[in-house]
Amino acid sequence: MALSEDPDLQPILFGLFLCMYLVGVLRNLLIILAFSSDSHLHTPMYFFLSNLSLADICFISTMVPKILMNIQTHSRAISYVGCLTQMSIFIILGCMDDMLLD
């Protein structure tokens, strides 16, 4: 199912998803850079938070670029291999998040 079939809403949805994606990636990159640049923050807790930020970057980079491409091309098609790859990476990253949080 599409988010909206209305062609007037497509640029708004694209801009909204792009902004949310860029904010998420930049926020997590800033967290990683802040923890890696200060030697006082090289403790296990900050290493753990850096790993969670990296996992979050990978997690949102699994789905959002495909959503953005679908909005731009007005196509909702995905190949079987593409779907299998995307879902496998999504599940692996979900398991990694679960293992980090346990």
User: What are the distances in angstroms from CA 29 to CA 52, 73, 78, 91?
Assistant: 11, 29, 29, 22
pLDDT of the residue at 1: 55
62-78 mean pLDDT: 88
Contact 101, 56 (CB under 8 A): no
pLDDT of the residue at 75: 82
Q: CB neighbours of 64 closer than 8 A, spacing ≥ 6? A: 17, 20, 21
pLDDT of the residue at 42: 85
Tell me the pLDDT band of 94, cut-offs 50, 70 and 90.
confident
Q: Tens of pLDDT along 12-23?
A: 989 999 999 999
Token pair listed for 2: 């599409």
pLDDT of the residue at 6: 75
pLDDT of the residue at 30: 95
pLDDT of the residue at 18: 95
The identity of residue 58, as a single letter, is: C
Q: Tens of pLDDT along 3-53?
A: 667 778 888 989 999 999 999 999 999 999 998 898 888 888 888 889 899
User: What are the distances in angstroms from CA 22 to CA 26, 27, 35, 78, 84?
Assistant: 6, 8, 20, 23, 25
